[in-house]
Amino acid sequence: MPLYKENLRAARFGFRLATSSLRLLPDFIIIGAQKSGTTSLFEYLARHPQVKPSFTKEVHFFDGGKNPEIDTFAKGTSWYRAHFPFNTGERRRFITGEASPLYLFNPLAPERIFNLVPEVKLIALLRNPVERAISHYFHEKRKGRELLPAHEAFQAEESRIEAALEQHNYKSLNFIHHSYLKRGIYAEQLDRYLHLFDKQQLLLIKSEDFFSNPGQVLAKACRFLEHQQQV
């Protein structure tokens, strides 16, 4: 990115950070799963006239971010608010939200979300675990983060992420990038959310339904979000 664009981007974020106390927290969060259609759903919702999305789709606040050297959660609520639009008052006619697909998989995210926005609406897209794992593998392969053939990568997963799980190091590169099969154990991940949130706050969507009939699923998501504001 050219230097002037970096400076402009930094200046814009600096302004949003300085005005963070006047900004909203999300009404909805798409929590995952990765490679399950979260980007498409977020973009469709963002086009709705009564939705003002976060300035960055994947804020990665509640999971601490993908960079092992930087903990975005430690930056605090002001940093998070800086990613959202201004609060226009009690009669505002829009909702806002973000989509960070690592939230579903990260064990720390549910409690962090609950502590900050306990009334938030949560959307989880769940793809066939085998198809999701294969898509995840080829994504990492394209990015140059995976050098093993697929069958070896899947066999090596348990040993790769074992240390991260034991040490609760959820910013480990292996935990984030090489957790192909573990991410498909949805029941374990959803239980962490249902232990804290009312089930009425969580919408589960089959990715296959979304891929085959996006309009119908989008309408379902809008109905789910309706009582937050009239979306």
pLDDT of 152-172, one tens digit each?
Answer: 999 999 999 999 999 999 999
Signed CA dihedral, 137, 143, 146, 148: sign only? positive
By three-state DSSP, how is residue 31 classified? strand
Residues 6+ apart with CB under 8 A from 218: 41, 44, 45
In total, how many domains does the chain have? Answer: 1
- One-letter amino acid identity for 224? F
Q: What are the counts of helices (DSSP H) followed by strands (DSSP E) for the chain? A: 10, 4
- Assess if residue 92 is contained within a domain: yes
At what angle are helices 38-46 and 214-225 packed, to 10 degrees? Answer: 60
Separation CA 164–CA 175 (nearest Å):
6
The CA-based angle 200-204-206, given to 5 degrees, is 160
Instruction: Please name which of 105, 95, 114 lies closest in space to residue 172, comparing C-alpha atoms.
Output: 105
By three-state DSSP, how is residue 30 classified? strand
pLDDT of 231:
42
Q: What is the CA radius of gyration of the chain?
A: 18
What backbone torsions phi and psi does residue 173 show, to the nearest 5 degrees? -60, -35
- Assess if residue 164 is contained within a domain: no
- One-letter amino acid identity for 206? K
- Assess if residue 159 is contained within a domain: no
- Assess if residue 197 is contained within a domain: yes
- Assess if residue 94 is contained within a domain: yes
Asked if 58 contacts 101 with a C-beta cutoff of 8 angstroms, the reply is yes
What's the DSSP call for residue 66? S
Range of the domain at 112: 3-127+185-225
Asked if 83 contacts 56 with a C-beta cutoff of 8 angstroms, the reply is yes
pLDDT of 227:
63
The CA-based angle 160-73-129, given to 5 degrees, is 40
pLDDT of 86-133, one tens digit each?
Answer: 999 888 999 999 999 999 999 999 999 999 999 999 999 999 999 999
- Assess if residue 60 is contained within a domain: yes
The CA-based angle 24-30-31, given to 5 degrees, is 110
- Assess if residue 21 is contained within a domain: yes
- Assess if residue 111 is contained within a domain: yes
pLDDT of 228:
59
Low-confidence ranges of the chain (pLDDT < 70): 1, 227-231
Domain CATH code at residue 36: 3.40.50.300
